């Protein structure tokens, strides 16, 4: 887009940093120190240029339906205001705000403004070297916060249903920026990309790895080594050497293992112990069957049976202690059978309770059926509602088309009238 001659004469050697079309032939030009607004010839006015310095201390905007105003406050020197079309407001505000930040030495001469965001009373500016945040009714004033990328070590997001928070860890302290949830991802990616470009990192993982504290990593490695060494010392088998047998076998003069009398005699009653154990298991199985049958009809009787089985197991344990090692196998089998019988008794009781609850549910369902009530069916209502909704949608779409056509006609008329300002 060419620069009109009247604007060239007002540049005084400065270069145009940005230009924004304002509709028709009107254009907004931004240099390092000024904002120039070119107004083309009209029916009621001649070609003109408006000039606004970037030495402003405060920026305010007031939005209207057709036109919006940008007011620059110069403190004791007063304030100046210019108007732009409302649909071009934020496109024009971006370079103007960048120029004012540069004039206020918030940004450096080689620093570029990547993106600006306006969320209600929050103004967020992302540059090539920092993030600038301003909260207040004004778009900008001297009460602001900035987070230079030199001090940023981490970037994160806390998501919410309506609004989310972007967390920038600067100087070891988390700084939170509240943004609408539907734009949080875009803002976060803009900040992350500027951060990666600043550090010349290919990915966020590479940036995070570069920002990791080397002292913390060495301390963590030392702790892991100390834990491994402590585990090795506490575990007697960690060295791979088998412990020495506490009772080594006796050897005769020829080096053969000597078998004592106890080991020889203990093998003899083994067969009889096995026979007695099998007989005890058969008797316990019959007793368990009777106990389970009785528990399904009478729960109190089942509890008594359980106490009896427990008492018998206790008595058999005492008898085992008195009788010695010969009857140890038989008594152990009896104890295991008693425990199995008790488990079967408990499971039978649980099954009986489950059957009872199912019968109660079936009685409840039968009672509801006998009452004469039937569940309501909404199929017909759903069909009617869908048809009405479809008809209403078509009517609204036709009305919107008519309104859009009227709006275009009015805008064309207004634009033609505004040319004659």
Looking at the domain assignment, is residue 115 inside a domain?
Answer: no
CATH code at position 90: 2.30.29.30
In this structure, are residues 284 and 340 in contact, taking their beta carbons and an 8 Å threshold?
Answer: yes
Given 89, 110, 131, the domain boundary residue is 110
Question: 125-138, pLDDT tens digit by residue?
Answer: 999 999 999 998 88
Beta bridge partners of 18: 30
Looking at the domain assignment, is residue 119 inside a domain?
Answer: no
Please tell me the distance from the alpha carbon of residue 378 to that of residue 356, in angstroms, as a whole number.
Answer: 35
* Helix, strand, coil share (%) of the chain residues, nearest 5: 50, 20, 25
pLDDT (tens, 9 = 90+) of the chain, 421 residues, equals 689 999 999 998 899 999 999 998 999 999 999 999 999 988 778 899 999 999 999 999 999 999 999 999 999 999 999 999 999 999 999 999 999 999 999 999 889 999 999 998 899 999 999 999 999 888 989 899 999 999 999 999 999 888 899 999 999 899 999 999 999 999 999 999 999 999 999 999 999 999 886 555 555 555 655 555 555 455 544 444 444 444 555 666 665 565 655 444 444 444 444 445 454 555 544 544 444 434 444 444 433 344 443 434 434 444 343 434 433 444 444 445 545 545 554 454 445 445 444 545 445 454 444 544 455 555 556 668 888 888 899 999 989 999 999 998 988 888 888 876 5
Looking at the domain assignment, is residue 409 inside a domain?
Answer: no
Looking at the domain assignment, is residue 128 inside a domain?
Answer: no
Given 320, 335, 354, the domain boundary residue is 354
Distances (CA, A) of 305 to 40, 319, 335, 346: 107, 21, 15, 11
pTM (two decimals): 0.52
| Full residue range of the structural domain in which residue 299 is found | 270-354
Looking at the domain assignment, is residue 93 inside a domain?
Answer: yes
Pick the closest to residue 411 from 21, 19, 24, 20 (CA basis): 24
Looking at the domain assignment, is residue 62 inside a domain?
Answer: yes
Looking at the domain assignment, is residue 21 inside a domain?
Answer: yes
Looking at the domain assignment, is residue 98 inside a domain?
Answer: yes
- Number of structural domains (the chain) is 2
Given 79, 110, 141, the domain boundary residue is 110
């Amino acid at each position: 887009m060419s620069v009109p001659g009247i604007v060239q004469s007002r540049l005084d050697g400065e270069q145009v940093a940005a230009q924004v079309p304002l509709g028709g032939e009107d254009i907004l030009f931004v240099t390092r120190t000024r904002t120039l607004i070119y107004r083309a010839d009209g029916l009621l006015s001649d070609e003109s240029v408006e000039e606004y310095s970037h030495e402003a201390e405060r920026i305010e905007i007031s939005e209207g339906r057709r036109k919006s105003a940008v007011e620059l406050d110069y403190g004791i020197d007063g304030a100046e205001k210019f108007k732009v079309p409302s649909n071009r407001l934020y496109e024009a505000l971006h370079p103007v705000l960048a120029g004012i930040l540069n004039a206020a030495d918030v940004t450096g001469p080689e620093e570029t403004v990547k993106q600006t965001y306006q969320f209600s009373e929050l103004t967020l500016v992302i540059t090539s070297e920092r993030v600038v945040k301003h909260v207040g009714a004004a778009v900008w004033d001297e009460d602001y916060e900035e987070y230079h990328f030199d001090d940023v070590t981490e970037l994160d997001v806390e998501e919410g249903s309506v609004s989310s928070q972007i967390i920038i860890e600067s100087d070891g302290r988390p700084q939170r920026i509240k943004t609408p949830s539907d734009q949080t991802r875009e803002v976060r990616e803009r900040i992350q990309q500027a951060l990666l470009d600043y550090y010349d990192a290919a990915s966020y993982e590479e940036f995070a790895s570069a920002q990791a504290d080397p002292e913390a990593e060495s301390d963590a490695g030392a702790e892991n080594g100390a834990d491994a060494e402590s585990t090795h010392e506490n575990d007697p088998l960690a060295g791979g050497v088998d412990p020495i047998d506490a009772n080594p076998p006796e050897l005769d003069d020829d080096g053969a293992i000597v078998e004592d009398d106890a080991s020889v005699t203990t093998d003899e009653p083994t067969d009889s112990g096995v026979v007695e154990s099998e007989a005890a298991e058969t008797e316990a199985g019959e007793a368990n069957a009777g106990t389970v049958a009785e528990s399904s009809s009478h729960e109190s009787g089942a509890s008594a049976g359980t106490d009896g089985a427990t008492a018998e197991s206790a008595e058999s344990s005492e008898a085992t202690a008195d009788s010695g090692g010969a009857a140890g196998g038989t008594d152990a089998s009896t104890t295991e059978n008693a425990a199995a019988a008790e488990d079967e008794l408990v499971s039978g009781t649980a099954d009986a309770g489950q059957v009872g609850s199912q019968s109660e549910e079936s009685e409840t369902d039968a009672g509801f059926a006998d009452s004469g009530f039937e569940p309501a069916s909404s199929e017909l209502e759903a069909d009617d509602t869908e048809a009405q909704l479809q008809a209403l949608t078509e009517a609204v779409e036709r009305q919107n088309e008519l309104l859009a056509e009227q709006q275009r006609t009015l805008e064309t008329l207004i634009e033609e009238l505004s040319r004659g300002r």
